[in-house]
Amino acid sequence: MARHHPAEPKVRKTAGINPNPQSYVAPPVGSVPEAPIPVGVEMQAQILIREAGSEALAKTAVAGAAERELIPDFREDQFGKRFGFASRPELLAASLPLVAADGTAWWTTAVAGDRWIVWNQDDMSAEQTFATVEEARCSVYPPTEL
């Protein structure tokens, strides 16, 4: 018996029957379409909550950090003045945070002459300056072995 092979495959016709487009559904009252914080900060907040163990502990940590930012620190004010900054907030605005492999918090700060210094609250000597921020970072992070 011979098989019949059609020249073109049969395709089911839809006859123009397509689902209607979904109507717009307004978001719930009080919702915000985008987080009112910079990109990435919400993720960092979620990490903080997870690492702190609870929302309450994370809020306590943030409140403590914010309080320390508002308290004028005489040592940092004087340190900043050494490098031409009018105040601690001006010093911190020109600084980038670093965390050493051992968890120690450091700052690298752009100073006059396109140089960088590295310092923290326990070591405000800033004896050495660096040509680039990468050189400054390398002074905090030990070289990696390949």
Closest C-alpha to 98, from 134, 51, 132: 134
Q: How far is 97 from 91, CA to CA, in rounded Å?
A: 12
- Condensed to tens digits (0 to 9), the pLDDT of residues 72-102 reads 577 788 889 999 999 888 999 999 998 887 8
CB 146 within 8 Å of CB 127: no
Please, what is the average pLDDT of the chain? 81
For 120-135, give one letter per residue: b (16+ CB within 10 A) or e.
eeeeeebeebbeeeee
135: its two tokens: 């050189």
- Condensed to tens digits (0 to 9), the pLDDT of residues 123-139 reads 888 889 999 999 988 88
Does the pTM exceed 0.85? no
Instruction: Identify the three-state secondary structure at position 52.
Output: helix
96 or 36: which leads in pLDDT? 96
